[in-house]
């Protein structure tokens, strides 16, 4: 398997760029939602993408996952141009958000089968993946239960695993832990760490500032531009504060 | 008492959403229901706002019984549900006028109460509610819940999915409303917001685990927590989990919160263990207990 090969890399040592964004811009009429942003994300990195509501995070993310066309600028995701190769971009990434994760009225097994099919896995692969995934999450006894009946935290853990079914190079997580209980929230981050160790790149948004501290690097978007981008440690030093929450409060003026 | 809840239980089919819950909220108090998704917070709100009947128990709001005097309650409370429930295709101003009319009042009559909040969304008063940003929707919903000058305000997860800056502003608004004599029952999954309430109830799986002021809840916690940090945080978590006398290991922002089982625990032993495990830049120091620590140990 391709995935195994990446295990030999130690996190943080390989500086291979997996996402490159250059002067990316999105306008809606006269309103510029994303204004000329540029940044790189490295392979195996946990990249925190922060910003206040309305700062342009979702718009930027939509361009990176190939569902919204940039007005100008460029972005390469897993080597594919988001303007011209959207289908290849979609094949190389996984995506989960709090708003959309899985179908509530399908069972766990049915959801895995459905998404496995969507991601182009064949039957034997789906069967093998289902067994492994369910065992890893300890969901053997609940495999035939409707996803809608699961607690939110379980749903999110399952949804993360499903987003990884096709072994994507990058996984985009849009507020994956909103409303999740404190213990499950931490278990979720342990899953993120483990996946990043395998070489998968994690691109994550969150409103929990303690989670910002768990990222390798963090960017903070304000009014459509990237106001800061660095390791949590360097950001705290730069703004002379003790926590990422304070960094955020200093930078992210409310634009509404 | 502004809110009195006695032994309220509610099941959906076989699933118990809340079980024998009791608590009281004093007049003018800012009371928080703190717990994760699925704890039963919304069920409690729906029972107290007379939208749902409990299977057992009784409750009063502003002196009225939630079953027999439900109409009086509906006139004296404001309710902001977790899901945005205003009319998406009415404008900001139309929504507000609608809610004022329903309650037999006008925007002008109680303008004082909403002024601070409304002026922030007034520039967009002709915009359809559905086209507002998350933060503005939240402010409009709060205005609509306040327009009839309620005695008690129910806010179900008003800050979920809201960024830290807007959350801070929202809580400042709540404090101002409280000063105007309104009793507030608010729920949140954010443990840091608990500290901003007068008293809180920690809820999990349909039961109240603890009710007290945030200060007392922290003061009563008897375990000693240590901040632990090293260069490789992920490996640090794994190694701490394998330390023989560990009681709990949880990431807490920049540090890991470590609790030991032994009464005679010496942090120096732990540091030595971590040095043997080849960790670098090791820090082990006493931590400050938070509501989240207490919650996770219940």
Instruction: Give the separation between CA B268 and CA B219, rounded to whole angstroms.
Output: 25
Nearest to A213 among B36, B135, B254 (CB): B254
Among B37, B163, B250, select the one facing A252 at the smallest CB separation.
B163
Size of interface A-B (CB pairs under 8 A): 100
Q: Cα dihedral angle (A181, A187, A193, A195), rounded to 10 degrees?
A: -110
More confident residue, B273 or A154: B273
pLDDT at B256: 95
Mutant choice from A46, A210, A245, A255 vs B, greatest count of B C-beta within 10 A: A210
B72-86 pLDDT per residue, tens: 999 999 999 988 889
Residue B134 to residue A98: CA distance in whole angstroms: 15
Closest CB to A53: pick one of B36, B163, B204.
Answer: B163
- Model confidence band, residue A100 (pLDDT cutoffs 50, 70, 90): low
Name the nearest CA neighbour of B45 among B65, B28, B59, B27.
B59
What's residue A254's pLDDT?
A: 52
Question: pLDDT tens across A36-77, in order?
Answer: 999 999 999 999 999 988 889 999 999 999 999 999 999 999
Contacts of A197 in chain B (CB under 8 A): 234
Contact A74/B at CB under 8 A: no
Q: What is the pLDDT of residues B185-195, one digit of tens each?
A: 999 988 889 99
How confident is the model over B99-112, as a mean pLDDT? 94
More confident residue, A32 or B13: A32
A53 interface with B at CB cutoff 8 Å: yes
Q: In the predicted model, is pLDDT for residue A2 greater than 50?
A: no
Nearest CA to A143 out of A115, A119, A187, A111 is that of A111
Question: How would residue A9 be classed by pLDDT, with cut points 50, 70 and 90?
Answer: very low
Q: Which tens digit of pLDDT belongs to each residue from B123-179?
A: 999 999 999 877 788 899 999 999 999 999 999 999 887 888 888 889 999 999 999
A246–chain B Cβ distance below 8 A for any pair: no
Q: Give 3-state DSSP helix, strand, coil % of chain A, rounded to 5.
A: 40, 25, 35
Q: Does A204 touch chain B (CB under 8 A)?
A: no
Instruction: Give B-chain residues touching A51 at CB under 8 angstroms.
Output: 163
d(CA B12, CA B18): 10
Kindly determine whether residue A182 and residue B253, on different chains, have CB atoms separated by under 8 Å: no
Question: Does residue A33 sit in helix, strand or coil?
Answer: strand
Burial of A30 (0-12, 13-18, 19+ CB in 10 A): exposed
Beta strands in chain A (DSSP E): 17-28, 31-42, 46-51, 72-77, 80-81, 93-97, 170-174, 201-205, 217-222, 225-230
pLDDT value of residue A21 = 98
Contacts of B39 in chain A (CB under 8 A): 181
Q: How confident is the model at residue A116 (pLDDT cuts 50, 70, 90)?
A: very high
Tokens 């009371």 correspond to what residue? B31
- Residue B201's pLDDT band (cuts 50, 70, 90): very high
- The two beta strands, B183-188 and B15-25, are unpaired
Mean pLDDT for chain B?
94
Contact between chains at A179 and B36 (C-beta distance less than 8 A): yes
User: For every residue of A136-205, which 3-state class applies, written as one string?
Assistant: HHCCHHHCCCEHHHCCHHHHHHHHHHHHCCCCCCEEEEECCCCCCCHHHHHHHHHHHHHHHHCCCEEEEE
CB contacts under 8 A, A 216-245 vs B, are 232, 243-245
Name the percent of chain A lying above pLDDT 70. Answer: 93
**Residues B189, A180: C-beta atoms closer than 8 Å:** yes
Contact B162, B134 (CB under 8 A): yes
Cβ separation of B36 and A181 shorter than 8 Å? yes
With an 8 Å Cβ cutoff, are A181 and B120 in contact?
A: no
Nearest CA distance, B95 vs chain A (angstrom): 19
How far is it, in rounded angstroms, from Cα B64 to Cα B81? 21
| Closest chain B residue to the Cα of A220, Cα to Cα | B163
The answer to whether A182 touches A21, Cβ cutoff 8 Å, is no
Mean pLDDT over each residue of chain A, to the nearest integer:
90
A195 close to B (CB below 8 A): no
* Token pair of B120 as six digits: 């922030």
Cβ pair B136:A256 closer than 8 A:
yes
* Chain A residues within an 8 Å CB radius of B164: 52, 207, 209, 245, 248-249, 252
Number of CB atoms found within 10 A of residue B90's CB: 15
Q: By the CB < 8 Å criterion, does A104 face chain B? A: no
Question: B254–A98: do the CB atoms touch at under 8 Å?
Answer: no
Chain B residues with CB under 8 Å of A210 CB are: 251-253
Say yes or no to pLDDT of A180 above 70.
yes
Nearest CA in chain A to B164: A207
CB atoms B234 and A243 under 8 Å: no
- Cβ contact B36–A190 (<8 Å): no
Contact residues, chain B, for A249 at CB < 8 Å: 164-165, 168
pLDDT at position A256 is 46
Task: State the nearest Cα–Cα gap between A184 and chain B, in angstroms.
Answer: 10
Q: What tokens does A242 get?
A: 């003790």
Cα B279 from Cα B230, distance rounded (Å)? 6
pLDDT of residue A8: 41
Q: What is the CA radius of gyration of chain B?
A: 23
Burial tier of B147 (Cβ tally within 10 Å: 0-12, 13-18, 19+)? buried
Is a pLDDT exceeding 70 seen at residue A253? no
Total length of chain A: 256
Question: How many angstroms away from the CA of B121 is the closest CA of chain A?
Answer: 8
CB B29 within 8 A of CB B200: no
Question: Which chain A residue lies closest to B122 (C-alpha atoms)?
Answer: A256
Q: Contacts of residue B233 in chain A, CB cutoff 8 Å?
A: 214
- The pLDDT of B56-65, averaged and rounded, is 97
Q: CB–CB of A19/A203 below 8 Å?
A: yes
At A65 the three-state DSSP class reads coil
């Amino acid at each position: 398997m391709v995935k195994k090969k990446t295990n030999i890399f130690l996190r943080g040592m390989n500086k291979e760029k997996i996402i490159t964004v250059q002067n990316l811009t999105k306008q809606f009429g006269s309103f510029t939602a994303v204004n000329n942003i540029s940044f790189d994300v490295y392979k195996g990195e946990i990249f925190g993408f922060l910003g206040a509501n309305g700062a342009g995070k979702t718009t930027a993310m939509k361009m990176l996952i190939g569902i919204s066309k940039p007005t100008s600028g460029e972005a390469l995701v897993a080597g594919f141009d988001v303007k011209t190769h959207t289908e290849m971009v979609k094949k190389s990434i996984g995506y989960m958000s709090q708003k959309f994760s899985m179908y509530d009225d399908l069972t766990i097994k049915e959801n895995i089968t459905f998404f496995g099919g969507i991601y182009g896995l064949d039957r034997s692969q789906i069967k093998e993946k289902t067994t492994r995934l369910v065992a890893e999450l300890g969901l053997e006894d609940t495999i035939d239960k409707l996803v809608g009946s699961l607690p939110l935290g379980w749903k999110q853990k399952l949804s993360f695993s499903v987003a990884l079914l096709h072994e994507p190079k990058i996984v985009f997580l849009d507020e994956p832990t909103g409303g999740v209980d404190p213990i499950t929230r931490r278990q979720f981050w342990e899953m993120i760490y483990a996946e990043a160790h395998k070489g998968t790149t994690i691109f994550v948004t969150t409103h929990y500032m303690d989670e910002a501290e768990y990222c390798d690097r963090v960017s903070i978007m304000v009014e459509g531009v990237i106001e800061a981008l660095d390791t949590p440690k360097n950001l705290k030093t730069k703004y002379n504060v003790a926590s990422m929450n304070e960094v955020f409060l200093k930078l992210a003026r409310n634009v509404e | 008492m502004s809110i009195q809840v006695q032994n309220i239980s509610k099941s959906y089919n076989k699933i118990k959403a809340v079980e024998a819950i009791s608590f009281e909220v004093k007049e003018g108090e800012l009371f928080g229901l703190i717990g994760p998704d699925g704890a039963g917070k919304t069920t409690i709100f729906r029972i107290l706002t007379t939208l749902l009947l409990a299977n057992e128990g009784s409750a009063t709001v502003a002196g009225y019984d939630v079953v027999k005097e439900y109409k009086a309650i509906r006139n004296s409370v404001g309710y902001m549900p977790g899901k945005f429930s205003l009319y998406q295709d009415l404008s900001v101003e139309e929504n507000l006028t609608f809610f004022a009319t329903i309650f037999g009042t006008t925007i002008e009559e109680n303008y004082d109460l909403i002024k601070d909040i409304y002026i922030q969304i007034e520039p967009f008063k002709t915009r359809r509610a559905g086209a507002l940003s998350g933060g503005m929707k939240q402010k409009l919903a709060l205005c609509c819940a306040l327009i009839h000058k309620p005695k008690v305000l129910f806010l179900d997860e008003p800050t979920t999915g809201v960024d830290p800056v807007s959350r801070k502003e929202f809580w400042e608004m709540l404090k101002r409303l409280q000063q105007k004599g309104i009793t507030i029952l608010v729920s949140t999954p954010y443990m840091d917001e608990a500290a901003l309430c007068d008293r809180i109830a920690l809820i999990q799986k349909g039961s109240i685990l603890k009710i007290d002021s945030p200060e007392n809840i922290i003061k009563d916690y008897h375990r000693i927590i240590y901040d632990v940090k090293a260069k490789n945080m992920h490996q640090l978590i794994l190694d701490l989990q394998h330390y023989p006398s560990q009681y709990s290991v949880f990431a807490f922002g920049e540090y890991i919160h470590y609790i030991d089982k032994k009464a005679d625990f010496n942090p120096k032993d732990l540091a030595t263990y971590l040095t043997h495990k080849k960790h670098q830049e090791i820090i082990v120091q006493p931590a400050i207990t938070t509501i989240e620590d207490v919650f996770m140990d219940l």
